[in-house]
Amino acid sequence: MKVVVDWVGQQDKSLNFVGKNSKRQRVMFGGEGDYASPMETLLMSVGACASIDVVMILEKARQNIKGCQCQLESERADEPPRRFTAINLHFVVTGEDLSVKHVQKAVDLSVEKYCSVMHSLDKQMPITATFDIVPA
């Protein structure tokens, strides 16, 4: 995997950057202003990765899933480097006749085994996950 990050804030001296992957897809990052910070995008990446796992696992279990939202909250260290010190993921899974057992298993498998973004973070950092099931 290769990506490039370019500074695009030269003219206004902002700390804005654009990341590009090999497919020429772009993500904007900002230290200020209109774009998400790198730490916010990292937290979003945890949520996206875990959500992909949950949806795939529930679909393989033939659960009638219609939606999945991952709400994340984090705590950060006060001093540099201001790394994450805790993350909580709360999934809101929407569907018809969803099994609590299957949703719990999908969330657990994502957190404990499959989410590569999450597993790239500090292994000592507490990560918790909860969920609600909402009928479609």
Q: Which domain holds residue 77?
A: 38-135
Tell me, yes or no, whether 80 and 123 share the same domain: yes
Answer yes or no: is pLDDT of 33 > 90. no
Mean pLDDT of 90-110: 98
98 and 54, same structural domain? yes
Quote the mean pLDDT of the chain.
96
For residues 44 and 100, membership in a common domain is answered with: yes
Q: Per-residue pLDDT averaged across 92-112, rounded?
A: 98
Check residue 95 and give its pLDDT: 98
pLDDT tier for residue 110 given thresholds of 50, 70 and 90: very high
> Are 43 and 92 found together in one domain?
yes
Tally the domains of the chain: 2
Q: Are 75 and 11 contained in the same domain?
A: no
What does the pLDDT look like over 49-90, one tens digit per residue?
999 999 999 999 999 999 999 999 999 999 999 999 999 999
* Residues with Cβ within 8 Å of residue 40, at least 6 apart in sequence: none
* Beta strands 16-21 and 3-7, pairing class: antiparallel
Do 45 and 85 belong together in one domain?
yes
* CA 58 from centre of chain: 18
Strands ordered across the beta sheet of 84-96: 64-76, 84-96, 127-135
Residues 15 and 54 occupy one common structural domain: no
Domain shared by 124 and 79, yes or no: yes
Q: What is the pLDDT of residue 130?
A: 98
Q: What is the pLDDT of residue 32?
A: 75
